[in-house]
A and B are shown apart, each in its own frame.
Chain A
């Protein structure tokens, strides 16, 4: 089936949108995506919660 062109190629005309070059660069840089994909949830979910748990005062018995 690839004789006339693969189904998995980016359709013509959409390969490199010139007005969104920065976005295309982001799409094509897997290491940057990996770094962002780790750091954003790590800071927002893990670090923030960890700090709150560290600062939580011990509950006192009534």
Chain B
């Protein structure tokens, strides 16, 4: 069994994969801290959704900024990065038939990230850091806020080093044949992106921290800070994209028995992410005066489109692999593979909804809003959070929830209770996020700003005229409340399972699928078969791809029309 010692590992009764005891411990710790961060972020989401719903207007402006800071950091940084650390431990051990690289590094990762997480939340809740996630200088938080973020980032860096060490010893000890598996390759891509991200975080936050404790007299230059900070802030979301795509491939296999159609193409797509996806940070500086138009256009259009190409490759290969697996089971018709998919399996439902919401909702809006010219009519409006809630929440968070429906029974060795509720949870969360995203997009199209508690700028003498945005903001409030309810159901179910769920030690986890579905899926997983057979061609996915490209074209050119309406070209 690779380099694993029998008394320090076990074999998973469900997947047959080896589980290193040391890695299992750190997977558990990171997953638990991640869910705690999610709970804090979701609680803040309730309050924020009911504030932007103008007729409810729950929070006072000062509290709005406080809870927006809580929400942003817990959802975009803490929940996601704790879960990603769990994925890294799993990928570098179970999938490589190898042991955890270093227990000392792993403890360093957990302790530093936990300390950072607690410190930052303490600072915000004590009203010492209502500076939003971006903490733009010269806005100044108390010093422990920056220190907490730095500690968290250093902890994450230790996790990345431990992962690279894990790959090194697995290769040295020849624990696997050929190349590393695709899911591990995706995790490697996420780690490489993470290292770029963390370095930028350190470069932006260390001088800011020194300024906050009085060592430096002046705050860092605002333009410089924004540029470096977004090398951290946006790039951290690209780690999410990479980890999410890896989870898609993993969940596609676990829930349908699929295999990647072409390993080389999938890996090329990950390499395109590694090389180009971090250039997307430039989107945030598209209206900044300090950097030139060539820099903006090269980074956000020409070069970044290679990363967009990568997303479209994954967006095709993942559903195509599912379709081919379904056809291999004997399911025919153009969309029979979809209608007869295991939709009552929350692992499948969450991952496939994540793929659809990320592609149709987040992807199309992201590329459009990231276009230099179009951005001028969307910058800092609610359209931007409308976009990234569909990528990060509807995409990454939903995919991670789907992963949890398998990881918790496999690693914590306890089965989920209230299975009917678990089966509908991904739909509640996904529906809420889509509704909220649409509301934000439409309100933003009327000019409603982001990062503001109301649309009349808190009683400004000359309020802006933002049309009839009220109903769209109600949609934001309703959608946000539904999504937060869905997330809360996930948290309650998962916490209950972790501590009180029925043990499945010594046997396979209770399957989410019907016995026949489960048997066919396991049969595909355990036998070698060729996904490139002529009769298995993914025709349905090709039709979906055509619909996607048509939607993309319509949305893209509608936005150019909107731009022309604002600045007519004569």
Q: Mark B177-215, 1 if CB is under 8 A from A, else 0.
A: 111111111001100110110011000000000000000
Report whether A8 and B279 are in contact in the complex, using a CB–CB cutoff of 8 Å.
no
Least Cβ–Cβ distance between A57 and chain B, in angstroms: 11
User: How many residues of chain B get a CB closer than 8 Å to chain A's CBs?
Assistant: 64
Given contacts A34-B192, A42-B196, contact A53 B259 (CB under 8 A): no
Secondary structure type dominating chain B contacts: helix
Q: Which of B73-81, B261-269, B390-398, B491-499 contacts the other chain?
A: B261-269
Report whether A45 and B195 are in contact in the complex, using a CB–CB cutoff of 8 Å.
no
Report whether B276 and A41 are in contact in the complex, using a CB–CB cutoff of 8 Å.
yes
Report whether B227 and A11 are in contact in the complex, using a CB–CB cutoff of 8 Å.
no
* CB-contact partner of A37 in B192, B253, B268, B303, under 8 A: B192
Given contacts A36-B274, A38-B196, A48-B295, contact A15 B227 (CB under 8 A): no
* CB-contact partner of A7 in B192, B259, B262, B291, under 8 A: B259
Which of chain B's residues have a CB closer than 8 A to the CB of A16? Answer: 178
Least Cβ–Cβ distance between B178 and chain A, in angstroms: 4
Does B457 touch A at the CB level, under 8 Å?
Answer: no
Q: Mark B236-268, 1 if CB is under 8 A from A, else 0.
A: 000000000000000001000101101110011
Residue of B nearest to A31 (CB): B164
Q: Mark A28-60, 1 if CB is under 8 A from B, else 0.
A: 101001101110111011101110110010000
Report whether A30 and B526 are in contact in the complex, using a CB–CB cutoff of 8 Å.
no
Interface residues of B in 483-513 (CB under 8 A from A): none
* CB-contact partner of B15 in A1, A30, A33, A37, under 8 A: A1
Which of chain B's residues have a CB closer than 8 A to the CB of A15? Answer: 177-179
| A9 and B144 alpha carbons, distance in the complex (Å) | 46
Report whether B200 and A27 are in contact in the complex, using a CB–CB cutoff of 8 Å.
no
Report whether B290 and A53 are in contact in the complex, using a CB–CB cutoff of 8 Å.
yes
Which of chain B's residues have a CB closer than 8 A to the CB of A23? Answer: 264, 268
Interface residues of B in 512-536 (CB under 8 A from A): 522, 525-528, 530-531
> Could you tell me which A residues sit within 8 Å of B by CB distance?
1-17, 20, 23-24, 26-28, 30, 33-34, 36-38, 40-42, 44-46, 48-50, 52-53, 56
The 10 closest A-B pairs by CB, nearest first: A1-B16, A8-B181, A37-B192, A41-B278, A37-B274, A2-B16, A15-B178, A10-B178, A4-B526, A40-B275
> Could you tell me which B residues sit within 8 Å of A by CB distance?
14-17, 95, 164, 167, 176-185, 188-189, 192-193, 195-196, 199-200, 221, 223-224, 227-228, 231, 235, 253, 257, 259-260, 262-264, 267-268, 271, 274-276, 278-279, 281-282, 285, 290-292, 295, 298-299, 303, 522, 525-528, 530-531
Given A3-B16, A10-B177, A11-B531, 7 more contacts at CB 8 Å?
Answer: A1-B525, A27-B267, A36-B275, A38-B192, A44-B299, A45-B279, A53-B223
25 contacts between A and B (CB under 8 A): A4-B526, A4-B527, A8-B95, A8-B182, A10-B178, A11-B260, A11-B531, A20-B264, A23-B268, A28-B179, A30-B188, A33-B271, A34-B164, A34-B192, A36-B275, A37-B275, A44-B298, A44-B299, A45-B281, A52-B291, A52-B292, A53-B223, A53-B224, A56-B223, A56-B290
